[in-house]
Amino acid sequence: MGYEKLDSSVISDEEAQLAGDVETSFVELRELSGAPPVATDKATSRLYVLAADGKMRVKDSSGNVIDLSLGASLGDDARDVHRNHQKTAATTVTGQQEAWMVRCLKAGTIEEFSAEVSAWGTIPAAGEDMVIDLQINGVTALVAPLTFDDTAVLDTPVAAAIDPAANTFAVGDKIEVIRTYTPGGAPTPMVGTDATVALRYAD
């Protein structure tokens, strides 16, 4: 089997730099007028800078574009997760609410919401339940609130369906986790529910 002598390397300078084969103190990224085409020959991700705004992005082999500048000023990838605990026993007054609130300092969307009866909590008795809702300025952001009754399983998170038409918040908006308790048979009152909400901030 013979070998053909090549006039130049089949590896570009940019590829060599990124692969670590060549010592360099920096890597230059060409500014593009638009996102690079989706790779079709192999699974690759392309790092680039968009000339229009100077922001660094990654485009993967499926065509998804990730703006790496999102969350850079926040130091948290533009995502914030809050967890709220019901630490005291639920009231025996029908319909009494226990609420948790956060005031938004940036605009964004609610990305995920889940709740559970915690491992240290108590399963509701027959006829007893806890309804947990997530609201923006008093309007639910869920397709339907989560209800925990005597069929609940301890320490098992239940994810809520987020309403894409109602999950956007602005600076100054109030996001609340609302608990509505209905008493039932003994033993009451139930105790120990957790709620977790993930917020995604806008650029």
What confidence tier does 53 reach under pLDDT thresholds 50, 70, 90?
Answer: confident
Strand arrangement of the beta sheet that strand 31-32 belongs to: 31-32, 46-50, 56-59, 65-67
Range with the largest mean pLDDT of 41-45, 80-84, 115-119: 115-119
pLDDT digits (tens, 9 = 90+) for 135-164: 999 999 999 999 999 999 999 999 999 999
Q: What mean pLDDT is reported for the chain?
A: 80
pLDDT of residue 183: 83
Average pLDDT, integer, range 83-93:
68
pLDDT of residue 203: 65
Cα distance from N-terminal residue to C-terminal residue, the chain: 57
95 burial level (CB within 10 Å; 0-12, 13-18, 19+)? exposed
Least confident of 38-42, 86-90, 96-100: 96-100
pLDDT of residue 52: 81
pLDDT digits (tens, 9 = 90+) for 104-143: 988 999 999 999 998 888 888 888 889 999 999 999 999 9
pLDDT of residue 182: 85
In whole angstroms, give the CA distance from residue 134 to residue 145: 7
pTM metric for this prediction: 0.62
What residue segments make up the domains of the chain, in order of their start?
13-67, 79-201
Domain 79-201 has CATH 2.60.120: yes
